[in-house]
Amino acid sequence: MAVHDNFSGPAPRTSLLNDPVFRGVIYQLLVVFLVVGFLGWIVLNTAQNLAIQNKTTGFDFLFRTAGFDIGFSLIPWSRASLYWEAFLAGLLNTLLAAVIGIFFATIIGFSLGIARLSSNWLIARVATVYIETIRNIPLLLQLFFWYFAVLKAMPAVRDSFLLPLGVYVNLRGIMVPKPLPDHEFTWVAVAFVVCLLAAIAIGVWATRQRTRTGRYPASIVASARIANAVVTFALGFIAFIALGQVIPTLATPMVAAAGALVLVGISFTPYRPFVGAFIAAVLAFTVTGFLLPGMFSSVPPAILLLVAAAIGLTVGWIMLERIGRTPVDASKFPVALPILVVVGIPLALYYLIGAELAFEVPVLQRFNFQGGLQLPPEFVALVFGLSIYTAAFIAENVRGGIRAVSHGQTEAAQSLGLKDGDRLRLVIIPQAMRVIVPPLTSQYLNLTKNSSLGAAIGYAELVNVFMGTTLNQTGKAIEVVALTMAVYLTISLLTSAFMNWYNGRVALVER
């Protein structure tokens, strides 16, 4: 017996309250209404309280005379400067500490993160102790330690420590030579920036060509050979001149040039690694022999000379082992070419146009130093503390990113015969960056915001100058706090945008 459904009318309507889409719109409108109402209540309540206290709002105070001193400023500052100049001075000081701190924290963090995974027991343990110790001590306590216990414990001005290159350290900070470029040197600086961009463009273009065709363009290969010969000649000439401190005969330009030409010729033979090892050993010996006497003036010169020679031989041996006695790998991008473009062209322009870059060395007078550039202890303590503190967290991010790469990638790289350094640089790190970059962005943001702790040790950053002195003198709490919050919000958003762009560049693309 068949059963027929005789119902043929329209579907029954459900209540709007049971419609999830309608409920979602209602809930969102309700939240917006509550948020707007809450903000409106805050604004009205604030306006009423200010009216009761006979206070006005506005940013006209920025154009009044500040009337206070700032110990360290990147812009000209005096008591006659305006409050907006105080805002700018604090902002620049904050950016200076943040940028330098990010730079050093990144280098230290990546080095420690890789070192903690080293197969060498001592290196791995030292990195582990550093990371676990530094990141578990509050940053403010570390800043107090570096400022009060280290820098403020330095000797007085008349008993300053003299370091190589005319650098003095005392309780007033670090005195370094001040660069004094002339007008022509501006063109050299412009040429350096242009050549740096050109070198990056050449590298990107050559890499894309190699990815598409399997080999670098013939023009890049030929230019690389010329660049390698020029760079080898320049470094060899410098090495023979430096070695002339021990063997005076080698210091003459003709002998040094002849020796450099010999090194160039050897660089085209299977004995190429010995050229790099010789240059590295001589330069390490020279630099160490120059630095050690200034750092250990009480040690006999003969002992320092032996130590410098030992360091030079060690560096040369490490370089020889690293390069290996193998022919040039055509699959690697020629490093000498961008070096010649970035360094050689601006250097040639420097001599052709007669530019000059002099340095004003600090000289100790009766009560203080004259000339040079003074880095105040507050700035040094803040940058140093931020760098080593943030580096401990970056190191853990790097370690986690490397651990996230499949071990099969390491085995595949080993099967191709890649060395440890090439395997890490070409295979592991590029894949680990997609894991490293997101938490690395957070560490950059934390470092920038933690720079406000400089107020605790007297560094003239934004919170100290603007939120502190300016707010106390003007009483414009709302305006000052709003501007300060806007600055940190803008810096954070710009940093996040740049790191997100970079994260998109290094992300793996599925095929």
Cβ neighbours of residue 202 closer than 8 Å, sequence gap 6 or more: 220, 337, 338, 341
Does 330 score more than 70 pLDDT? no
What pLDDT does residue 2 have? 52
Q: Is the pLDDT of residue 415 over 80?
A: no
SS3 360: strand
405 burial level (CB within 10 Å; 0-12, 13-18, 19+): middle
Lowest mean pLDDT across 255-264, 326-335, 348-357: 326-335
Which helix (H) or strand (E) segment holds residue 162: the answer is: strand 161-163
Q: What's the mean pLDDT in 172-193?
A: 88
**Is the confidence at residue 396, as pLDDT, over 80?**
yes
Q: What is the mean pLDDT of the chain?
A: 84
**Nearest CA to 175 among 380, 460, 369?**
369
479-499: average pLDDT = 92
CA dihedral 71, 74, 80, 82 (to 10 degrees): -110
pLDDT computed for residue 1 by the predictor: 47
Q: What percent of the chain has pLDDT over 90?
A: 25
User: In the predicted model, what is the mean pLDDT of residues 494-501?
Assistant: 91
Q: Is the pLDDT of residue 303 over 90?
A: no
- Residue 451 Cα distances to 214, 378, 454, 499, angstroms: 47, 12, 6, 20
Q: Are 317 and 277 in contact (CB under 8 A)?
A: yes
The one-character DSSP state at 178 is E
Which comes out higher in pLDDT, residue 173 or 383? 383
Predicted TM-score (pTM) of the model is 0.77
Q: Of 279, 291, 289, give the one whose Cα is nearest residue 310.
A: 289
Question: pLDDT-based confidence at 382, cuts 50/70/90?
Answer: very high
Q: What domains lie within the chain, and their CATH numbers?
A: 83-145+375-505 (1.10.3720.10), 185-359 (no CATH)
Predicted confidence at residue 397, as pLDDT, reads 93
Question: Which run of H or of E encompasses 369?
Answer: strand 369-370
Question: Contact 401/424 with Cβ under 8 angstroms?
Answer: no
Residues 249, 466: Cα–Cα separation, whole Å: 61
**DSSP three-state, residue 3:** coil
Q: Please write the tens of the pLDDT for every residue from 194-230.
A: 999 998 888 888 878 887 887 778 888 788 888 888 8
Q: How far is CA 410 from CA 114, 323, 415, in A?
A: 15, 21, 9
Residue 173 contacts residue 161 (beta carbons within 8 Å): no
